[in-house]
Amino acid sequence: MGYSLRYLISYFITLSIIVVFLLIITGRIDFLLLLKTTNPYSWAVLGIALCIGLSIVGAGWGIFITGSSILGGAVKAPRIRTKNLISIIFCEVVAIYGVIMAIVFSAKLQSVSGEALRTPSNYFTGYSLFWGGATVGFCNLFCGIAVGISGSTAALADAQDQTLFVKILVIEIFGSVLGLFGLIIGLLVTGKAVEFS
């Protein structure tokens, strides 16, 4: 089975899950009704959870990829163990970006109850925090994977030839900038959102 058919099947399954979710929540397929009836505080908390959760998954994935290559390459060349820990640190920075942004986003959360919660300002804040958190989370997920793959390459190349380490480390730094871009975009998305009131 080719990749395109697998992707088509996965898109169909994802779309089916979304439609079933809408039917369960609203009783009909209406995205606008879902946006209106869902509590804005829920959108904000979900965005913060995506921010920190996906960032940590990206960091863990990158550490796994890099760490296994460092261990494998250290069998042939034990000298690479300490020098290549910089790749693990780059992966850990991805998780730190997510934690910092989750703290920044959670500063906008205030306890509001009843119908006072469903104001246009609160909906804007909820949606802003959701999309800001999702942006930061997904950017950090992909950043962790990119840093992990380039860190793995740096470790294996360093085990073969010491002169390649710095050259590949530059590529790894470019991969780690993806997380910083996500952090900046997340700040821009949530910049005009006010605290819940």
The answer on 162 and 113 residing in a single domain is yes
The answer on 55 and 129 residing in a single domain is yes
At residue 129, does pLDDT exceed 80? yes
How many domains does the chain fold into?
Answer: 2
The answer on 43 and 122 residing in a single domain is yes
How far, CA to CA in Å, does 68 sit from each of 23, 139, 145, 156, 161?
A: 44, 23, 14, 10, 19
Residue 159: which CATH number?
1.20.120.610
Alpha carbons 83 and 67: distance in angstroms, whole number: 12
The verdict on residue 152 lying in a domain is yes
The answer on 86 and 49 residing in a single domain is yes
pLDDT of residue 89: 93
Q: Which of 27-41, 60-74, 111-125 has the lowest mean pLDDT?
A: 27-41
pLDDT tens digit sequence for 64-99: 999 999 998 888 888 888 888 899 999 999 999 999
The verdict on residue 195 lying in a domain is no
The answer on 79 and 149 residing in a single domain is yes
Upper half-sphere CA count for residue 188 (Cβ side, 13 Å): 7
What's the pLDDT band for 59 if we cut at 50, 70, 90? very high
At residue 54, does pLDDT exceed 60? yes
The answer on 125 and 72 residing in a single domain is yes
> Could you list the residue range(s) of the whole structural domain that residue 8 is in?
1-37
Q: Which candidate, 97, 95, 98, 88, places its Cα nearest to that of 169?
A: 88
The verdict on residue 196 lying in a domain is no
How far, CA to CA in Å, does 31 sit from each of 18, 25, 36, 49, 64?
A: 10, 11, 9, 22, 38
Q: Which candidate, 182, 191, 189, 190, places its Cα nearest to that of 95?
A: 182
**What number is the average pLDDT over the span 109-118?**
76
The answer on 76 and 26 residing in a single domain is no
The answer on 111 and 23 residing in a single domain is no
